[in-house]
Structure 1
């Protein structure tokens, strides 16, 4: 099966160990892999986007994993390996590449891909405690939750423009979950594709419900001390741009931008 490396992570406790996911191009599924499945190649020899072939496996639990992974060499790879082409860029061009890469989320039109990309974007802009909910029986439920300092947000992603009418009941459910409980418990996705329960304390937090779209950011309602907002993916991309261009941009500024986005 020919595919590409979608993500790659170095183990925090063992720098020689790594793991990640491979995206099967023909079917759109992601497969988990470990270092041993890559013939124990050093992480420096592997990169995101690299084309590979592998043997796929599916567990009854729904988890997918890859073994016998092999790198597929192309003519371009051969040229790069021989150092005949050397790319040199400056820091400003590098920042431009990063911003352009983040902005490509605007081109995503598949709902599941949009949801996954929003999760990645939130992590990238510095919201480290972002949790993506399990998709099993997800209909009518939120896509994820994040907490940063005093702000707690339950979010839902949609590509539909006129969402307020058909999401009215869902939004009310999100408000109830945030307003009526001192803590929130949910199933979140693990790195290997499994799920694990997570409990977050909500007492004393500023609570918001976000509907993340390609529209314009605005506050929709404020009910029972829970603000409901439509949040534009474009504004989240702008926060990422600010982080890159402002060397004084810290967690305090990030929290302030997130709290008042849509005002």
Structure 2
């Protein structure tokens, strides 16, 4: 049987595992598949809209699944399929495209690109007042800061798994900056590549320090009314997914999710 990949998802707890659905060509359910059904190909070799051949299986319950999936590599077919996808795409597929795009941040392994991508992700989930600090002379300093409603967060991004030992002094510095001042002034990047000073009032704000990683979200400490947390990039991606799937998701829900993430 021949059809197209309709949706593709990476397992939250295992970067190497994925699953998805192949588009049904009739009015029935789409065909579910797992990584093993794709000869254990890496997810980087697969994309939504890709044309595939497969063996289809139908259960009496109406469930369907695909095995022995093979990629059809004809360039002409790929062009035709791309046009078909554009013409037939529905809202659920559109959401899948957006979520799959955001999830690709998990594949970034360059520290600077990870930092830049976290900034974009925070904007995408609705944190509009997010500021990326100037990278010049940045050693020992945070990567950025955001404020939403009554929550103020200074954040730092790292791909290191054992960050607590070598970032201990930096984290203490972040805590001091947030706890001892009524306002915070920093240099932030402009769209033209320049920098500009920015001052944010901190009075009355709930203050947190985030170390954003590929690990698990958890609270590390609570000192001088400043919570220090490790924040998983996976959980931020889940907030984005939640924002797309919940039509009632608003700023209040976003702030609540951000405040309690890692608890």
Between structures 1 and 2, the one with greater helix share: 2
8 Å CA contact 2:4, 2:52 repeated in 1: yes
- Paired residue secondary structure (2:85): coil
| CA distance in 2: counterparts of 1:155 and 1:179, whole angstroms | 15
| CA distance in 2: counterparts of 1:47 and 1:176, whole angstroms | 46
Larger Rg: 2
Post-superposition offset of 1:152? 0.1
Aligned length: 263
Specify whether residues 207 and 59 from structure 1 end up closer, same or farther in structure 2 by C-alpha distance, changes over 3 A only: farther
- Paired residue secondary structure (2:211): strand
Task: Tell me the C-alpha RMSD between the 2 structures.
Answer: 16.1
8 Å CA contact 2:12, 2:234 repeated in 1: no
Specify whether residues 22 and 228 from structure 1 end up closer, same or farther in structure 2 by C-alpha distance, changes over 3 A only: farther
Q: TM-score if structure 2 supplies the norm length?
A: 0.69
Cα deviation, 1:75-130, whole Å, max 9, x if unaligned, reads 99997999899542110000011001000000000000000000000000000000
- Is residue 146 of structure 1 aligned with residue 150 of structure 2? no
Cα deviation, 1:191-230, whole Å, max 9, x if unaligned, reads 1110000000000000000000000000000000000000
Q: Structure 1: 5+ residue runs without aligned partners?
A: none
- Paired residue secondary structure (1:41): coil
| CA distance in 2: counterparts of 1:190 and 1:65, whole angstroms | 49
Post-superposition offset of 1:164? 0.2
8 Å CA contact 2:208, 2:229 repeated in 1: yes
| CA distance in 2: counterparts of 1:230 and 1:65, whole angstroms | 38
Post-superposition offset of 1:35? 44
Specify whether residues 108 and 183 from structure 1 end up closer, same or farther in structure 2 by C-alpha distance, changes over 3 A only: same
Q: Structure 2: 5+ residue runs without aligned partners?
A: none
8 Å CA contact 2:183, 2:199 repeated in 1: yes
8 Å CA contact 1:2, 1:24 repeated in 2: no
- Is residue 222 of structure 1 aligned with residue 225 of structure 2? no
- Paired residue secondary structure (1:142): coil
